[in-house]
């Protein structure tokens, strides 16, 4: 019998951790509901076909695939072997795997909308809080199983939603004490316009992949990467002027206008951003327009968001989102535009932990512990315990009549503020001892007094 262990990148959560996670999740859920989003849950796994091709080439590699059952069936042997050959060539085969763990919440949501669009009332606003899985190598802030909290709305092109989602970010993160978070926004149309200005829309992907790394690898290396992608020097010059854009949102827009305003795509991006800014201009949130923000997921078509952890913590992105014009089109239902955001709970947890942002009174131990002084005594105690519980007071009874010393220490360790002692002498007088462990005060009460005592 070998020692038990966990698969890499997964974790158990003890009581203290679960309480803190609930604190985050409850904050997010409450805000989602207050903004009018409805709950949705989808299965842990989907048909592999539903997921593949939606997250880009790298994304596909990170999907956890589930091996089919019954591969040892002799009748399937030749198919299975043929499927295995495909796998050896880096392709997946439905003869070997036809299901996979979900990789995010957006694609399953799009699948749900595509399957149920006839029944849904649009605009449909849903939130979803569930684990997702990625076959990445674990490291700091990166787990193989982690929770996402998504809010999406489909069926409307209104920038009202981009606006309220940005406010939602602000509300949740400030409620959690993450006041130093940074919201960055950009618009895919601007990136497209940039590619077009450079000479070819097909350069969109290599350009965005390269410039997205600007703050990480620096200007020189971005330049190198663009050159290695065989972009002409003229195009690279244009990109460098684009990358030089920075400043206040208004100033960034002005500079973008000069560079890309002559292109229809550029105008689209600029006008969306202006509309968005007008919606939120009196809201408390701060943001930065970052023309280099690209975001990997290739289904975004409009505004994109990224939330970075406070600069004092090296954690990178704790949330992201954006508009996608045609996600359900992938599932055969065209013309259902959508926009959504996501919170990375596990990273938010890590950031809050390093910043010490969790409230200290998050634990909710029982209010009272009945000591156990013997079978007879505890049988008198038990009804009192149940009465307290029925009144909504969390209480416990120690299971064995061990030394009081030990029962005191148990109460203390669990953070239980009151203990009640009912032994032979209390039975004789019909009373009970109630002791406050913090103050050390103890009083003798009748059962009726005890049940009405303020705990």
**List of residues contacting RNA (CB under 7 A):** 2-3, 5-9, 56, 58-59, 62, 104, 134, 136-144, 146, 148, 209, 212-213, 216-217, 295-297, 307, 314, 316-320, 342, 344, 346-347, 373, 402-406, 408-409, 412-413, 421, 423-426, 433, 435, 437-438, 440, 442
- Residue nearer to RNA on the CB measure, 125 or 144: 144
- For the chain, the three-class secondary structure string (H helix, E strand, C coil) is CCCCCCCCCCCCCCHHHHHHHHHHHHHHHHHHHHCCCEECCCCCEEEHHHHCCCCHHHHHHCCCEECCCCCCCHHHHHHHHHHHHHHHCCCCCCCCCCEEECCCCHHHHHHHHHHHCCCCCCCEEEEEEEEEECCCCCECCECCEEEEEEEEEECCCCHHHHHHHHHHHHHHHHHCCCCCCEEEEEEHHHHHHHHHHHCCHHHHHHHHHHHCCHHHHCHHHHHHHHHHCCCCHHHHHHHHHHHCCCCCHHHHHHHHHHHHCCCHHHHHHHHHHHHHHHHHCCCCCCCEECCCCCCCCCCCCCEEEEEECCCCCCCCEEEEEEEECCCHHHHCCCCCCEEEEEEEHHHHHHHHHHHCCCCHHHCCCCCEEECCCCHHHHHHHHHHHHHHHHCCCCEEECCCCCCHHHHHHHHHHCCCCEEEECCHHHHHHCEEEEEECCCCCEEEEEHHHHHHCCC
Shortest Cβ 8–RNA spacing (Å): 3
Considering the complex, what minimum distance in angstroms separates the CB of residue 162 from RNA? 17
Q: How far is the CB of 138 from RNA (least distance, A)?
A: 5
In the complex, least distance from residue 77 CB atom to RNA, rounded to whole angstroms? 26
DSSP string, 131-199: EEE--PPPBTTB-SEEEEEEEEEES---HHHHHHHHHHHHHHHHHTT-TT-EEEEEEHHHHHHHHHHHT
Nearer to RNA, 199 or 218 (CB): 218
By beta-carbon proximity to RNA, the closer residue of 35 and 370 is 370
Q: Are 309 and 354 in contact (CB under 8 A)?
A: no
User: Among residues 417, 424, 335, which one has the least CA distance to residue 373?
Assistant: 424
Query: With respect to RNA, which residue has the nearer C-beta, 190 or 313?
Result: 313
- In angstroms, how far apart are the furthest CA atoms of the chain? 98
- Which of 140, 454 has the CB closer to RNA? 140
Q: Toward RNA, which CB reaches closer, 253 or 313?
A: 313
Location of structure tokens 């002498």: 425
Between 14 and 392, whose beta carbon lies closer to RNA?
Answer: 14
Distance CA 257, CA 304 (A): 18
Q: How far is the CB of 213 from RNA (least distance, A)?
A: 6
Least distance CB 119 / RNA (angstroms): 28
Least distance to RNA, CB of residue 64, Å: 11
Cβ proximity to RNA: between 119 and 139 the closer is 139
Least Å from the CB of residue 374 to RNA = 9
For RNA, which is the closer residue by CB, 7 or 284?
Answer: 7
Beta carbon of residue 366, minimum distance to RNA (angstroms, whole number): 14
Which residue lies nearer to RNA by CB, 425 or 452?
A: 425
CB of 94 to RNA, least distance (A): 21
Of residues 162 and 306, the one with the C-beta less far from RNA? 306
Place of tokens 């007071």: 393
Shortest Å, Cβ 415 to RNA? 10
Nearer to RNA by C-beta: 120 or 401?
401
Alpha-carbon Rg of the chain, whole angstroms?
Answer: 29
CB of 59 to RNA, least distance (A): 6
């Amino acid at each position: 019998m070998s020692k038990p262990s966990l698969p890499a990148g997964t974790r158990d959560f003890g009581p203290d951790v679960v309480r803190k996670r609930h604190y985050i999740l409850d904050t997010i859920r409450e805000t989602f509901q207050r903004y009018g989003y409805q709950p949705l849950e989808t299965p842990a796994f989907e048909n592999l076909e539903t997921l593949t091709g939606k997250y880009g080439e790298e994304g596909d590699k990170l999907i956890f695939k589930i091996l089919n059952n019954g591969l040892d069936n002799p009748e399937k042997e030749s198919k299975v072997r043929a499927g295995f050959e495909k796998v050896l060539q880096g392709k997946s085969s439905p003869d070997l795997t036809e299901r996979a763990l979900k990789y995010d919440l957006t694609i399953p949501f799009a699948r749900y909308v595509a399957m149920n669009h006839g029944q849904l009332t649009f605009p449909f606003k849903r939130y979803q809080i569930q684990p997702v899985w990625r076959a990445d190598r674990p490291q700091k802030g990166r787990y193989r199983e982690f929770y996402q909290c998504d809010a999406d709305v489909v069926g409307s092109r209104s920038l009202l939603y981009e606006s309220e989602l940005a406010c939602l970010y602000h509300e949740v993160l400030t409620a959690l004490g993450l006041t130093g978070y940074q919201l960055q926004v950009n618009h895919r149309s601007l990136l497209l316009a940039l590619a077009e200005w450079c000479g070819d829309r097909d350069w969109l992907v290599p350009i965005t992949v390269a410039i997205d790394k600007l703050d990480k690898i620096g200007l020189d290396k971005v330049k190198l990467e663009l050159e290695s992608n065989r972009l002409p020097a003229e195009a690279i010059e244009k990109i460098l002027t684009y990358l030089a854009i920075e400043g206040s949102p208004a100033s960034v827009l002005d500079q973008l206008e000069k560079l890309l305003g002559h292109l229809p795509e550029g105008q689209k991006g600029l006008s969306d951003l202006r509309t968005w800014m007008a919606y939120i201009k009196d809201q408390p949130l701060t943001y930065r327009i970052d023309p280099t923000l690209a975001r990997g997921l290739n289904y975004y078509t409009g505004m994109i968001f990224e939330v970075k952890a406070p600069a004092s913590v090296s954690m990178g992105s704790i949330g992201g989102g954006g508009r996608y014009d045609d996600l359900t089109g992938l599932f055969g239902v065209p013309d259902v535009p959508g926009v959504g955001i996501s919170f990375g709970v596990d990273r938010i947890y890590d950031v809050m932990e390093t910043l010490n942002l969790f409230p200290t009174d998050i634990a909710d131990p029982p209010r009272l512990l009945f000591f156990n002084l013997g079978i007879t005594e505890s049988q008198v105690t038990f009804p009192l315990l149940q009465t307290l519980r029925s009144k909504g007071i969390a209480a416990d009874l120690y299971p064995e009549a061990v030394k009081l010393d030990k029962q005191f220490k148990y109460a203390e360790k669990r953070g239980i503020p009151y203990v009640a002692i009912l032994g032979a002498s209390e039975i004789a007088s019909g009373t009970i001892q109630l002791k406050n462990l913090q103050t050390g005060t103890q009083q003798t009460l009748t059962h009726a007094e005890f049940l009405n005592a303020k705990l």
